Each structure stands twice: as C-alpha cells, then as structure tokens.
Amino acid sequence: MTKIPLVALISGRGSNLKAIIDANDPLIEIRAVISNRPDAKGLIYAQENGIPTEVLDHKQFATRKSFDTHLQTSIDHYQPKLIVLAGFMRILSSEFVAHYQGRLINIHPSLLPAFKGLNTHQQALEAGVKEHGASVHFVTEDLDAGPVIIQASVPVLPDDDSESLGARVLIEEHRIYPQAIHWFAEKHLF
C-alpha cells in the first residue's frame, strides 16, 4: 500500500496536528511539520512522534513573498502530495497557493461560507446563529473561500461565550480533519 506523503504547517499548540497524528491513518505518511513560530507547541508533539520538524520564522523575512518562497522550498524538499494547514496563521501569496493547487487544505472554525477570517466564534454569537461549526476546505487565493470538503456543526447554546462555543467546535475539528485527509488519500476528492 502506497502512503500519501504529507507536510503539515502549524503556528501554535497543534491540537489539529495532534488529532491527525493520533488518527494513525495507514494511508498517510507525515514527512514533516513546519512552523512559522519557533515556540509552537505542536513542534514538540511532532518530535515526540518521530516526525521531522522545521521552523521558518516569518519575522526573519522582509516580505511575505520572500517568506513564501522559502517555505515552498522547505515543503518541496519533502515531496508531499498533500499540504495541510493545521492552525497555520499566515495568509499565503497567490503564487504559493497556485503552486499547491488541489493539494493544499485548511481547517476553518466556521460553517463556510459564513464567518471567514478571525474570531469566528464571536462573529457567530454576534450574528445570533443557532448553529456553528467547522469546515475543511481546499485553499484558493480567496481567503476561506475554496471548495468545502467536509463540515461539522454544533448547536449554539443560550449561555455560550466564544470560549465555550470554540471548545465544542474544536472537538469537531479534531474529528473531521483526519477524515478529510483520509478521503484525499483514498482519492475520493479528485
């Protein structure tokens, strides 16, 4: 059985990365985890699981294009078939996105197309919606606008704040992201 080589990009605690690693999918091989932040806790979990890690601190680059060029070189070294944004908090250039067209996916904490960008849980509460959730989608040039692969919803409860709502959404993120990756590996998405 041929495994799909994958590179994950993170910026923080790496909870979605942990869910992907813990899924132990026999169809994928995580070749590397790359972070734009040296203090990203997800790097530690990857290292504990024997996965190579790299740090490419975006603050060390004069321009977004320069950072993206170096990031692309780092990623391509591992020859991945799939690049997974797992809490990677950088908007990527159109050239970068075009290079990985059809094999770059992201998890977003809302039921897209609703609530793009940041602070989605607060946006949902302020909008008074009854349901909120998470979406895994292909990355395109337009922020949080690529084709959706899978979504999961949670009810918005009367006493929710952004933290309690976010905690329930995160549980669903951890469930659907490994599922979307598995579908990609099975070639169900193309």
Catalytic residues: 108
Cis peptide before 109 (omega within 30 of 0): no
> What is the Cα–Cα distance from 82 to 4, expressed in whole angstroms?
7
> What is the Cα–Cα distance from 82 to 73, expressed in whole angstroms?
15
Nearest alpha carbon to residue 86 among 147, 125, 134: 134
> Which secondary structure element, helix H or strand E, spans residue 130, and what is its range?
none
Q: Which two tokens stand for residue 72?
A: 């692309």
> What is the Cα–Cα distance from 91 to 163, expressed in whole angstroms?
24
Coil, strand or helix at 63: coil
